[in-house]
Amino acid sequence: METVTRVLLAGLLLVYFTTQAGEVSPEQAAKLQARIMNANLPLQNRVRALKKLHADQIVNGKINRSFCVWDPLGRNGPIYATVNDQKLRSLHYGLALDIRAYPDEEQLITDLKSGVCDAALIRGNRTYEFNRYVATLEAPGAVPDVQHFRILSQVIASPKMAGKMEQGDYVVAGVAYLGDSYFVRHPKPLQSLAALGQQKLGVIRDERSLVEVANRLSANAVKLGAVAAAGEFVAGGLDVILAPAVIYQALIAGQLNGPVRILDMPQSLSTIQLIGRQEKFPTGLAQILREDFLFKFDTYVGRVKAEMNTVPADYWQPVPESEQQRHRSQLQSLRLSLRKQGLYDGDMLTLMRKVRCKLAPQAAECTAVVE
């Protein structure tokens, strides 16, 4: 009997000390979660609550996570450098980052799905399978400029939107500006935007939105991988390429022997998004990361603008306002079609239309609402 009593007592003590060391009651967990999600509290208080709630994930005082980063230039590229700069700041909220560069985005996505990567920083047009709502940011013509994207970024970083950031096993832990996408062409005669359809037009095949734009313009659009498309354009095998500015800067600009013309009318927003595995990035941690991305909004935009300022001024080709209006209407029609097909999220399209109408309430789409 005495032996049985001692065994029971030892078991009770083990449960007690385990609970004291890290476990919290459901009521405590709810309070801690509310504290973490309260953006009005000092970050230090929220981080303290985060560490207490997820004490089981802490090793030597830190939450250790692997960040896999797409950068076409690998460890020498600007995207990797930006994330690597984040390592020290992340320590302030208890996150120790192991940052790995991936020039091959396909391998990065494979490693995210298999669990080799706890999170992956990838182009927004590759994130539909992880979060359709946020991927829809790259719908053509939906985000005309940085001012619109700033407002959208504020909405995305709001704790009220946390549920929208989670889909299946994944969570969006941050969104950053990566520039815009443009038509870049060799300096041959061009009468109008519609005339692009008569030229040999190349597009990057994994840029789903841009592929649809190219298909609308040309039934014979050539779809290639990023490196192949850039190489074909540089070699003269393509008259025009439709690509994000980051692709132009990384794979085209330094390879050209002569001038080009960039149509000064962005076709779509280009973003880079941090997609995390939910088991590794619980709601509170993902929320703090999204707010941190918003905090560095101007830094990210400034770096992209600095890169684009290196493009010679005479490379930019103005587009008449009448053509721009006609093209914007075509892009809206395309968005509606792709919403119906299930590519774009209707709620995000509506949000983006509301932002456009906030900044330009006189636009026709603000009275004849279809998005």
Beta carbons of 193 and 327 less than 8 angstroms apart: yes
pTM of the complete model: 0.89
Encoding tokens for residue 272? 């880079």
pLDDT at 8: 34
Q: What angle, rounded to 10 degrees, do the helices at 26-36 and 283-295 form?
A: 10
* Average confidence (pLDDT) per 10 residues, the chain, 371 residues: 36 31 81 96 92 89 91 86 80 86 95 97 95 98 97 98 98 96 92 86 94 91 94 96 92 91 96 96 95 94 93 95 93 97 97 98 94 96
Contacts of 354 (CB under 8 A, 6+ apart): none
Beta carbons of 356 and 365 less than 8 angstroms apart: yes
Encoding tokens for residue 39? 């953006």
What's the CA gap between 99 and 244, in Å, rounded? 24
Beta carbons of 131 and 165 less than 8 angstroms apart: yes
Give me the DSSP letters along 228-292: HHHHHHHHTS-SEEEEEHHHIIIIIGGG-SS--EEESS--EEEEEEEEEETTTS-HHHHHHHHHH
Maximum Cα–Cα distance for the chain, whole Å?
Answer: 98
- DSSP β-bridge partners for residue 121: 69, 274
pLDDT at 21: 40
pLDDT at 22: 52
Beta carbons of 348 and 355 less than 8 angstroms apart: no
What's the CA gap between 333 and 339, in Å, rounded? 10
Contacts of 237 (CB under 8 A, 6+ apart): 200
Contacts of 332 (CB under 8 A, 6+ apart): 141, 365, 370, 371
Beta carbons of 124 and 271 less than 8 angstroms apart: yes
What's the CA gap between 371 and 354, in Å, rounded? 9
pLDDT at 4: 38
The superfamily CATH assigns to domain 24-177+271-308 is Periplasmic binding protein-like II (3.40.190.10)
CB burial of 193-228 (b: ≥16 within 10 Å; e: otherwise) equals beebbebbbbbbbbbbbbbbbbebbbeebbbbebeb
Break the chain into its structural domains and give their ranges: 24-177+271-308
